[in-house]
Amino acid sequence: MAVDLKRHLAPSHYCLRSDAHSGIHKLCNRRVEGSKDGASWTCLREHVNDSSLADTPFSVAAWPIDNAAAAHFRHFRILQTGPNSDRNYNLMCGGMELYGRLSVKELT
């Protein structure tokens, strides 16, 4: 799952919203990555067996992105690296929010 912001962001935190199911399909194993060009990716945060998303529909959790605020990225993605809470590989996500310092200049 990826997004192109069309501007550069120096990220400080990110937030995920789970899907409509209760207690299943929560993203537990993933990497959050950033890219300036959409081809070369930098790992911003990695999660292994993370259980921060609650067992309720559309639960929300947030995490800091350490040491990334010095770098600006245009593209962001969630890469599932292992099974979800239901022990399968369905990437189920209701939303993603990115927080940080947005570049003033729009890209052309």
Per-residue pLDDT of the chain (108 residues; tens, 9 = 90+): 899 999 999 999 999 998 887 667 889 999 999 999 999 999 999 999 999 998 888 899 999 998 766 789 999 999 999 999 888 988 888 899 999 999 876 655
Q: What one-character DSSP code corresponds to residue 22?
A: S
Q: CATH class for domain 2-101? A: mainly beta
Distances (CA, A) of 77 to 1, 97, 99: 5, 11, 14
Domains of the chain, by residue range, sit at: 2-101
Q: What is the pTM of this model?
A: 0.87
